[in-house]
């Protein structure tokens, strides 16, 4: 599964870790994250991410 | 002190910091100001605070206009402590009805000062709010340069309160752009952009487009550092448009460190070679120049030639400092080359080449390294290297 980087702040979404704080379970591919999810560091929206 | 009224009922109430010389690694050799703006109407609003140690100055300045406890609203456009340091004490004195900030601003304020019970009023991007009889539109400017950053636009006053954007670190008694020497002002504005906003250039482009699309009409920009743009706010906007677009001239910097002057001799010849080819070349020895000043000069340069001897199989630590700082600033569309003298192993040139490539520089040459002290022939090749880099710079075409 691909990692995705926030274009705004550099945060890396790693599917292996998910995003606990927003309730994204480990093992969730980036594509399956709900559209309303935002970067946990800077609040950027999902379309501000690009594949690493 | 004379009151500074920039628009009807809107006053500058900030502080001038003549003494600051280091702003988290940025050399502020001309000091700075922390600008705060008081708006008097049916409701009284304070836009942004100052650095903690200037809270008393801010309160004294407000007191010349109104009793500070009469302030109803605080606006926190940006939570970095040079602006929000005064907020906890202000909240105590003012007991504000509302503290306007962005969603990320609320999180950052809570993370800095740990008060969950403050009367936060989170505003959305583009939200129009009446502060008493005076209208303000908030626009988020995420990562310009923190996640919380916002702009506050007052359409009736044609005023843009821009927070860190469009500011500069410059301490003066003058408050307006037309009162300060323009080249000094633009020099500091470029330095501010290069050291603070450069990595976010694509977002700068985006926000300029947003402001144009929204048809915001303002004739004055009031940033939170330095002077207020009243005579020529277009000047700073076009400068930001240019800088964020990686536009550069025929300038090349030769940036080096040396141990026993061999690399320095090579640097001198490279500089000559570049100069004789007609380029605007500037030579910086790292130890003698602050990284933030070199970066300021590099903003509008196309090329960078790096020189370092090899010290224990590495380039010099001053070069490591510079390259780590430069890398974070994500410079785009640049040309590079490397050189250096060495004693035995000589890895530095290759390592500098790798750093340049990692930063997406276009390498103008495979580089030049020489064992021990350069001979006349080697110095001649350094001169020629300067010429080759100059050629690449001249041939560079914006795609
Ligand atoms: Fe800031
Ligand atoms: Fe600031
Ligand atoms: Zn982010």
**Global pTM value:** 0.95
Contact A41 B147 (CB under 8 A): yes
The residue from B194, B220, B244 where one domain ends is B244
In-domain check, residue B357: yes
Q: Which residue of B has its CA nearest to A40?
A: B104
Residues of B in contact with A7 (CB under 8 A): 202
| Residue B399 maps to a domain | no
Residues spanned by the domain of B224: 4-244
Q: Domain ends where: B224, B244, B264?
A: B244
Within chain B, residue ranges assigned H as helices are 55-63, 81-84, 87-94, 103-113, 182-192, 201-213, 233-244, 262-276, 291-298, 317-328, 348-358, 376-395
Q: Give me the DSSP letters along B336-392.
A: EEEEEEESSS--HHHHHHHHHHHTTPEESSS-EEEESS--HHHHHHHHHHHHHHHHH
Say yes or no: B218 and B84 in one domain: yes
Does residue B126 sit in the same domain as residue B170? Answer: yes
Q: Are residues B292 and B171 in the same domain?
A: no
Structurally, chain B folds into a number of domains equal to 2
Ligand 1 centroid to Cα of residue B80, in Å, is 5
- Written as tens digits, the pLDDT of chain B (399 aa) is 799 999 999 999 999 999 999 999 999 999 999 999 999 999 999 999 999 999 999 999 999 999 999 999 999 999 999 999 999 999 999 999 999 999 999 999 999 999 999 999 999 999 999 999 999 999 999 999 999 999 999 999 999 999 999 999 999 999 999 999 999 999 999 999 999 999 999 899 989 999 999 999 999 999 999 999 999 999 999 999 999 999 999 999 999 999 999 999 999 999 999 999 999 999 999 999 999 999 999 999 999 999 999 999 999 999 999 999 999 999 999 999 999 999 999 999 999 999 999 999 999 999 999 999 999 999 999 999 999 999 999 999 865
Last residue of a domain, one of B219, B244, B269: B244
Query: How far does A34 lie from chain B, in Å, by closest CA?
Result: 19
Statement to judge: residues B207 and B278 lie in one domain: no
- In 3D space, the residue among B197, B211, B199, B210 whose CA is nearest the CA of residue B240 turns out to be B197
Both B281 and B209 in one domain: the answer is: no
> Are residues B60 and B43 located together in one domain of the fold?
yes
Residue B206 located in a structural domain: yes
What is the C-alpha R_g of chain A? 10
Query: What's B39's domain CATH number?
Result: 3.60.15.10
Q: What is the ipTM of this complex?
A: 0.73
């Amino acid at each position: 599964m691909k990692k995705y980087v926030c274009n705004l702040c550099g945060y890396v979404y790693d599917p292996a870790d998910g995003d606990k704080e927003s309730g994204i379970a480990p093992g969730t591919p980036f594509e399956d994250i709900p559209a309303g999810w935002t970067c946990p560091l800077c609040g950027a929206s999902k379309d501000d991410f690009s594949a690493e | 002190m004379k009151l500074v009224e920039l628009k009807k009922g809107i006053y500058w109430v900030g502080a001038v910091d003549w003494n600051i010389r280091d702003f988290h690694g940025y050399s502020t050799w001309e000091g700075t100001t922390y600008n705060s703006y008081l708006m008097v109407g049916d409701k009284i609003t304070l836009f942004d605070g100052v650095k903690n140690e200037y809270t008393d100055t801010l309160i004294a300045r407000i007191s010349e206009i109104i009793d500070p406890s009469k302030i109803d609203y605080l606006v926190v456009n940006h939570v970095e402590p040079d602006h929000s340091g005064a907020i906890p004490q202000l909240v105590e004195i003012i007991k504000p009805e509302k503290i306007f900030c962005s969603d990320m601003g609320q999180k950052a304020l809570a993370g800095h000062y740990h008060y969950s019970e403050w009367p936060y009023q989170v505003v959305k991007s583009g939200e129009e709010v009446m502060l008493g009889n005076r209208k303000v539109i908030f626009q988020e400017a995420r990562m310009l340069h923190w996640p919380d950053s916002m702009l506050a636009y007052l359409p009736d006053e044609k005023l843009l309160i821009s927070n860190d954007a469009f500011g500069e670190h410059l301490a003066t008694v003058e408050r307006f752009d037309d009162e300060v020497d323009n080249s000094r002002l633009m020099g500091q504005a470029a330095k501010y952009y290069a050291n603070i906003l450069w990595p976010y250039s694509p977002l700068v482009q985006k926000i300029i487009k947003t402001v144009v699309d929204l048809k915001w009409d303002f004739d004055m920009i009031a940033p939170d550092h330095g002077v207020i743009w009243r005579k020529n706010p277009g000047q700073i906007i076009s400068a930001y448009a240019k800088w964020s677009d990686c536009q550069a001239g025929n300038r090349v910097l030769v940036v080096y460190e040396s141990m026993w002057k061999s690399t320095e001799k090579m640097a001198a010849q490279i500089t000559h070679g570049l100069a004789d080819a007609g380029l605007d070349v500037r030579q910086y020895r790292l130890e003698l120049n602050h990284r933030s000043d070199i970066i300021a000069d590099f903003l509008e340069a196309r090329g960078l030639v790096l020189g370092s001897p090899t010290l224990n199989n590495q380039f010099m630590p001053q070069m490591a400092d510079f390259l780590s700082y430069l890398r974070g600033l994500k410079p785009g569309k640049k040309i590079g080359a490397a050189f250096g003298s060495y004693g035995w192993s000589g890895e530095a040139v290759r390592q500098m080449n790798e750093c340049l490539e990692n930063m997406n520089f276009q390498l103008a040459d495979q580089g030049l390294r020489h064992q021990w002290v350069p001979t006349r022939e080697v110095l001649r090749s350094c001169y020629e290297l300067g010429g080759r880099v100059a050629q690449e710079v001249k041939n560079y075409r914006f795609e």
